[in-house]
Amino acid sequence: MIVGRALGVNLTQVGSGRTGATNVLRTLGVRWAIVVAVSDLLKGAIPVLLVGWLTLGAPWWGAPTCGQVAAGSFAVLGHTFSPLIGFRGGRGILTGGGGLLGAVLAGVRGGAEFCGAAAIWLTRYVSVGSLVGTIVAGVSVVGMALVGAAPAPFFAVRNSPAGVHHFGTPRQTSSGC
């Protein structure tokens, strides 16, 4: 939203109406989409890293903590339902990915990104890639939780609300939104 406003564009009124990197890519170009993508990643990673430091969690002292799960979840919720712009925003995919990165689940994030990128390349739909990446990350993190490598609720960082928000996307995408 900040990039759009700086350039005199209201992102909620152009393209998909979302404020994330995909809409910025389509409306403002690659350079600004990179700025937004990095900002969205940091928006998820910084709170998770800060809470990890405060609660003796990952990456400094141990495994990810439930506090880090909450921080990542709230970062995604704040990105997706920003009260500053009428409870609208992006889909939360990169913000959730930043949360995973901040919790040192880079392997999960890397696997999810690879599968998501492959889905985008095969289908030419960002929404399909986002769904595939979200599902891969969610299944991976739940698997880690089952073997004790991550807190049980950690799947919330990646699957909620990002996955829920994408159920309408293929229809929107096929209609040109």
Q: What pLDDT shows up at residue 121?
A: 93
Is the confidence at residue 94, as pLDDT, over 50? yes
Q: What pLDDT shows up at residue 119?
A: 93
Q: How many domains does the chain have?
A: 1
Is the confidence at residue 158, as pLDDT, over 50? no
Average pLDDT over residues 156-169: 47
Mean pLDDT of the chain: 80
Return the amino acid letter for 140. S
The CB density around residue 134, as the number of other CB atoms within 10 Å, is: 26
Give the whole-angstrom CA distance, residue 126 versus residue 174. 11
Q: What pLDDT shows up at residue 154?
A: 56
**For residue range 96-128, what is the model confidence (pLDDT) as tens digits?**
888 887 776 666 777 888 998 999 999 988 889
Highest mean pLDDT pick, 48-62, 113-127, 138-152: 113-127
Q: What is the pTM of this model?
A: 0.74
Say if CB 95 and CB 77 are below 8 A apart. Answer: no
> Residue 47 belongs to what domain range?
2-174
| Torsion region of 176: left, alpha or beta (phi above 0 gives left; psi -120 to 50 gives alpha) | left
**For residue range 10-51, what is the model confidence (pLDDT) as tens digits?**
888 898 888 888 899 989 999 999 999 999 999 999 999 999
Say if CB 14 and CB 7 are below 8 A apart. Answer: no
Say if CB 154 and CB 144 are below 8 A apart. Answer: yes
Q: What pLDDT shows up at residue 109?
A: 74
Q: How far is CA 39 from the centre of its chain?
A: 11
Q: How far is CA 14 from the centre of its chain?
A: 21
Say if CB 133 and CB 93 are below 8 A apart. Answer: yes
Instruction: List CB contacts of 49: < 8 A, sequence separation 6 or more.
Output: 59, 102
The CB density around residue 149, as the number of other CB atoms within 10 Å, is: 14
